[in-house]
Chain A
């Protein structure tokens, strides 16, 4: 997994509440899909008109935001389906961080699994970053520093945030969770042996 330390760039605003993972990528695009190349489908119902042309009103189609590494979101960003393709699609667009007042749980987990940082800030702070960016979009840069756990706004204001310590460590180092868990294989097998004796009813049915 890609490590995450500091990301800097223009922050694209998408402040509406309840942006669900169906909006981020329709399920039809994910039938048997792999992890790569999904960026072209990201927000496709909003990015493109019915005839396939770009919708110029959608922020990610506007010049300073096309290459944004940071997305500003509203409440409950990423709610809905557990599809990890939503994160893959955003990553493929070049995004590394979403800043929002709150996130769908499964989406936030999926972010951490893919080197993408979900940052929770108060709605007023997210709105202020959007305002400062909009004031001079072409040279307004926001920084997200995971090491220090601060967001530096375009005006230089530092806003602290907190990330679960375990997730932060894993992201900073780009850790592979499966490899970590595999080191505990003996513990897992011992637990299973104990549990088979303690709860035979949980194990008997599957042996039939």
Chain B
């Protein structure tokens, strides 16, 4: 599509970021990040199917500091997308769309994302040691 040099109406850059708009774009970004991270999940399963040796290799990579960082980022993205997704499903039912409720549920999403992500990792360290 050729736009030439036609003037464009002001876009995102003229708006002050707000909790609602920031969570909205993060929802998409975290969804895409979760998709990309799912490649690691499939790689992990394929490694398990291909034998002990290769599985240990993948496990030691995922257990390294870089692997743990990737997994932590993936957990965070997934949990955020899950929590905000539930918020979106509630909206899709036509509920909770008032400004005040939308801000309250937005803050709840942040709190739950942090609690669940840290809780999962705390559980993992408690079960598996360092």
Whether chains A and B associate is: no
